[in-house]
Structure 1
Amino acid sequence: MRTIKKYPNRRLYDTEVSRYITVSDLRQLIVDGEEFGVVDVASGDDITRSVLLQIINEQENGGQPLFTTEILTNLIRFYGGTTQKMFTDYLDRSLSLFVEQQQAYQDRFAEFLGQSSVGVMSEMAKRNLEVWQDAQKNFLRSTGFTSDDSGTSSKPSGKAGKKPTKE
């Protein structure tokens, strides 16, 4: 695991690349999937959580926030309550499941893009044709016309299909 040292002057030092980094650089490490810990040089304390909260705070204050005021208010209400541990476990499992689903989706999308372009276009055309045929059948049914599996349609039976006569 990568070690980041935080000095009293608030500067962050990445020991792996031997250079000072910014909070934005830390955010990028997170996005890239790098694991790290942040140690306060003066006290030797692990301050990773505080730095992560700082990153969240900066993200929330710039651009579009992830958390609404209502979500933040509800999160605060769980602190110190009897359900704090249960809520923490629930959030952890929910986020883990969400990340797994996102990864599976990205894998399927990458697999789809990896097919030959002719195969992809063929498959897309086939799916579009099926969707169009289904839409056409549904439209014909809703207007009183019937559509058999061969794609031919016929006028409805009964008075609805006859021309009005003068009496």
Structure 2
Amino acid sequence: MSSKMNATSTHDGERVIKKYPNRRLYDTATSSYVALADIKQLVMDGEALVVRDAKTGEDLTRSILLQIILEQEAEGAPILTERMLANVIRFYGNAMQGFMGPYLEKNVQAFMDIQSQLADRSKDLTALPLMPNVMGNYAEQSKNVFIDLQEQMQKHMQKQTEQMLEVMGVKRR
């Protein structure tokens, strides 16, 4: 999808929030101005949304979401430790940068799936003995994500090696 898309158009049923030059945010679904806290609540509610520059149509969603995360991190008990943030920064420009985002995304999704399962099972106190199974499932999902990442890395490295050998004029048997 083009980042210069019309600021009021949607795709896949996303709610469109327009960001004006005066830094105000306008929710086109409710025809009202909103604050970052309102956008945070939409995200918490699972609402699909996109934030677009009202003038250019540029997609500003990532920027707004990062702004919300920054505010949340400053409020008290941060999720992202300094060590973790430093490690993430180290991946920028690294050959593995392309793998880091999907890896983190899959792990966070696996964690959320387990959290949802625990919430569902906690409604029935007789399900408490099943807790070790849920955590085992999370560990299994995490392991599978890691194995997928390793396989992708191996394919990537193999492809790079083949390209390098080809450039050097070395033929593989």
**Whose relative contact order is higher, 1 or 2, with alpha carbons under 8 Å and at least 6 apart?**
2
Look up the match of 1:55: 68
Extract unaligned runs of 5+ from structure 1: 114-119, 128-167
TM-score, normalization: structure 2?
0.63
Q: Give deviations 1:41-75, integer Å, cap 9, x for gaps.
A: 12210010000000011111112111111111111
The alignment-based identity, stated in percent, is 47
- Give the Cα–Cα distance (whole angstroms) in 2 for the partners of residues 65 and 42 of structure 1: 34
Look up the match of 1:75: 88
TM-score, normalization: structure 1?
0.66
Look up the match of 2:112: 99
Q: 1:40 aligns with which of 30, 50, 53?
A: 53
Extract unaligned runs of 5+ from structure 2: 1-13, 130-173
Please state how far the C-alpha of 1:109 moved relative to its aligned partner: 1.4
Please state how far the C-alpha of 1:7 moved relative to its aligned partner: 0.3
Please state how far the C-alpha of 1:86 moved relative to its aligned partner: 1.3
| RMSD of Structure 2 on Structure 1 (CA) | 1.8
- Give the Cα–Cα distance (whole angstroms) in 2 for the partners of residues 12 and 37 of structure 1: 11
- Give the Cα–Cα distance (whole angstroms) in 2 for the partners of residues 109 and 78 of structure 1: 38
Look up the match of 1:27: 40
Q: Which has the larger radius of gyration?
A: 1
Moved over 6 A (4+): none
Aligned residues: 116
Please state how far the C-alpha of 1:95 moved relative to its aligned partner: 0.7
Look up the match of 2:121: 108
